[in-house]
């Protein structure tokens, strides 16, 4: 690990200015991702700016929804009674991520910004366009089990690792940001990028942009929602496939629905095509399956030395059908 300067700013504005004014500076919140990258030699900042005390660590009511301070710990957010009652998919997503110890450290603002856990990204000895632009993508033809099937490019097939981010995508959350040009908001579904020919950029944030809060709108449909994570082991494993879903069924017809997928793309994948296919249709398994198929029409498996990840395509369909079937039965 290379030596770096460490700074504890007085407030959010000072923190933002410190990072924005130094191209080699980074923010430190819970550190559950950054510290790993420092140890692995994936990042070499000259300055680490500690922001644990400059943003709110409270969850407050606002306009019928919830305003989540960026410093709120994942474990506290998952246990908040308002989240459990009104946005259960978010609580379930948080509890399915990492371990209890890590959830006690990870923050609401930092969790969605964690970088991919692709083994090639984390291995400095292999080519990786995210880590070293233009060097190639070792995952193509390599170990592909955990790689993406939607929105990938020839330059990158990595997936976004956050469970929390999948739920926030389904919930139409809004991110509040403080940057060099002032304050602004970003719809959560627009925060992350697909890799394209520039996979080194994970989000639309600019250097120095600081997430100060995440806003959950008043979303009645979210009261009946679920998060399902399919993984290789029961705990402390990243998703092969995950589904965050909420559905409103009246007289056997889907009146409204929210679906987001994890483990399948460079960003949390909002399943707009599946939602559109379901609205106004009978809440039956055949329609759930057809909706999943509509979302996966452009899915592309990655070949690899481990057999590739073509299994993810039917796995997404089965998981979507299972979650929607369970939610529909609860509506009856």
The pLDDT of residue 331 is above 90: no
The pLDDT assigned to 2 comes to 85
Cβ-proximal residues to 214 (8 Å cutoff; 6+ apart), any chain: 67, 68, 70, 108, 109, 112, 168, 173, 174, 175, 176, 188
Rounded mean pLDDT, 67-80: 98
- Residues 135-172 pLDDT 10s: 999 999 999 999 999 999 999 999 999 999 999 999 99
Fold match, 5-50 / 225-331: no
The pLDDT of residue 65 is above 70: yes
Helix%, strand%, coil% for the chain, nearest 5: 30, 25, 50
pLDDT band at residue 312 under the 50/70/90 scheme: very high
pTM for this model (two decimals): 0.97
The pLDDT of residue 55 is above 70: yes
Could you state, in order of their start, the residue ranges of all structural domains in the chain?
A: 5-50, 225-331
Q: How far apart are CA 313 and CA 299, in angstroms?
A: 7
The pLDDT assigned to 307 comes to 93
The pLDDT assigned to 235 comes to 87
Architecture category of domain 5-50 in CATH: 2-Layer Sandwich (3.30)
Fold topology of 225-331: Enolase-like; domain 1 (3.30.390)
């Amino acid at each position: 690990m290379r030596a770096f300067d460490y700074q504890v700013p007085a407030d959010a504005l000072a923190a933002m200015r410190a990072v924005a004014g130094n191209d080699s500076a980074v923010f430190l919140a819970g550190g559950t991702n950054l510290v790993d990258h420092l140890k692995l030699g994936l990042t070499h900042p000259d300055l680490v700016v500690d922001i644990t005390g400059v943003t709110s660590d409270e969850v407050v009511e606002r306009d019928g929804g919830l305003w989540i301070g960026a410093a709120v710990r994942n474990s506290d957010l998952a246990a908040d009674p308002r989240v459990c009652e009104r946005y259960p998919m978010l609580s379930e997503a948080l509890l399915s991520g990492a371990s209890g110890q890590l959830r006690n450290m990870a923050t609401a603002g930092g969790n969605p910004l964690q970088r991919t856990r692709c083994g090639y990204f984390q291995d400095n000895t292999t080519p990786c366009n995210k880590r070293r632009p233009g060097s190639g993508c070792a995952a193509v033809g390599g170990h592909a089990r955990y790689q993406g099937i939607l929105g990938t490019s020839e330059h990158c097939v990595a997936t976004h690792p956050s469970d929390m981010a999948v739920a926030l995508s389904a919930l139409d959350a809004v991110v509040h940001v403080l940057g060099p040009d002032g304050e602004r908001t970003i719809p959560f579904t627009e925060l992350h990028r697909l890799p394209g020919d520039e996979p080194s950029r994970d989000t639309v944030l600019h250097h120095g942009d600081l997430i100060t809060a995440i806003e959950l709108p008043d979303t009645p449909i979210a009261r009946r929602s679920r998060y399902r994570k399919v993984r290789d082991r029961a705990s402390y494993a990243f998703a092969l496939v995950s589904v965050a879903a909420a559905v409103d069924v009246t007289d056997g017809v889907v009146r409204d629905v929210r679906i987001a997928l994890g483990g399948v793309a460079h960003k949390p994948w909002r399943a707009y095509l599946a939602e559109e296919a379901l609205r106004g249709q009978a809440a039956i398994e055949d329609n759930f399956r057809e909706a999943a198929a509509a979302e996966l029409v452009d899915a592309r498996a990655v070949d690899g030395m481990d057999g590739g990840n073509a299994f993810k395509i039917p796995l997404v369909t089965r998981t979507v059908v299972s979650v929607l079937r369970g939610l529909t039965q609860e509506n009856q």
